Structure 1
Amino acid sequence: MKELMSLGIAIVIFIACNQQSKRYTQQSPEIETYKQVLEDYEDRDWEAMVAHYSDTAKIMNNVTEEDGKNLTQFLAENKKDASQFSRWDFVDDESEYEMIVNDKGETWVNFWGLWEGTFKTNNKVYQIPTHITAQFVNGKIVREFGYWDVSKIIRDIQQADELSSSEERTGN
């Protein structure tokens, strides 16, 4: 009888452990959604891209949460950035995705990749390592944090602006 009881408890524990949801995976509907977000970004299909975000989403790209952007600001910033590049995309072989469910039960998709873009002003190609993490609720992105270093691009934009100002002053 003790053996039967022990076997029953072991089966219950085994079943309970196997029914837990995955806390870490590299395959999920949220990952597929985020891949589509990045594809829409690469294609500059802004309407399709923001359709994956909740109306109240907050986006923090290289800023603290207090300085985060709403969707309207986020879209305007992306459109402005896009106007300065003839092309951009994420290098497929350099992209990695994972989804985690943290201890609070929040679902996050993490992305690591290599962004590559050609700046219109000087036709220079930039490669920038990128990390983005997005929180999902009911299939929509509600918060997103992005981190990358744009200092080289900013320096070149400033130099181009200085050159343009100098040419305007001298009449060239």
Structure 2
Amino acid sequence: MKKILLSFGMVALLLGACQQGPVRYTQNSPEIETVKKLIANYDSKNYDTSMYADTSKTYYNTNDDALSPSEAMDYHRQSEVNYASRGFGNEHQEYEMVVTDDGETWVNSWLEWGCTLAANGKEISVPVHLTFQFVDGKIVKEYGYWDPTEIVLELQKIEAEAKMMEEEQTE
């Protein structure tokens, strides 16, 4: 009898250990769909802030200087003058949603961003990591990380060439 009770106890313990808890990682969620819509809006130059909480903070390549949702959209609008075209490609896009040990919901994305510079037609491709914290279906924090070096150097080169040509014309 002792062996039967012990066997039942072990089976119950194993079944209890196999029960699924709440989903902590997924590649399909409403939050991921929100991020995909945000990316599509960016690509179509639709600067909609309705996905963000009013108090949301956006950090691009920094941990200190936060932008409000409208300031983040202005940042994108202002950079438009540099590009004949720009946007995220359809390939090499990865999205995941995780719920942290503290219960925070984050969507991480790894994307390929590309542009054609307006001044010289040079095409540049940059890997980008974006991560978004969600509360009640709204983005409350966004962090974006990418290496802008190639674009900055190319824009500086274009500016230097324009300045040299201007100086030559004034001589």
Q: Normalization by structure 1: what TM-score? A: 0.87
Match of 1:33 in 2: 34
Where structure 1 has 5 or more consecutive residues not aligned to the other structure, the ranges are: none
Partner deviation per Cα, 1:137-170 (whole Å, 9 max, x = no partner): 1111110111100101101111111222223333
Indicate whether 1:105 and 2:107 are aligned: no
The alpha-carbon deviation at position 132 of structure 1 amounts to 0.7
Q: Which moved more, 1:135-144 or 1:76-85?
A: 76-85
How many residue pairs are counted as aligned between the two chains? 167
Identity over the aligned pairs, expressed in percent?
A: 32
Give the 3-state SS of the residue equivalent to 2:108 in structure 1.
strand
Work out which of the two has the higher radius of gyration on C-alpha atoms and give 1 or 2.
2
Match of 1:13 in 2: 16
Give the counterpart letter for 2:62 in structure 1.
V
Match of 2:129 in 1: 131
Give the 3-state SS of the residue equivalent to 2:91 in structure 1.
helix
Q: State how 1:1-150 maps to structure 2 within 5 Å.
A: 2=5, 6=9, 9-10=12-13, 13=16, 17-18=19-20, 20-47=21-48, 50-64=49-63, 66-150=64-148
> Distance in 1 between the 2:70 and 2:32 partners?
24
Give the 3-state SS of the residue equivalent to 1:104 in structure 2.
coil
Q: 4+ residue stretches of structure 1 with deviation over 3 A?
A: 1-12
> Distance in 2 between the 1:89 and 1:162 partners?
26
Q: Is the 8 A contact 1:110 1:132 kept in 2?
A: yes
Partner deviation per Cα, 1:70-119 (whole Å, 9 max, x = no partner): 12321111001122212122222210000000001000000001111111
Where structure 2 has 5 or more consecutive residues not aligned to the other structure, the ranges are: none
> Distance in 2 between the 1:156 and 1:14 partners?
57
Give the counterpart letter for 1:101 in structure 2.
V
The alpha-carbon deviation at position 11 of structure 1 amounts to 9.0
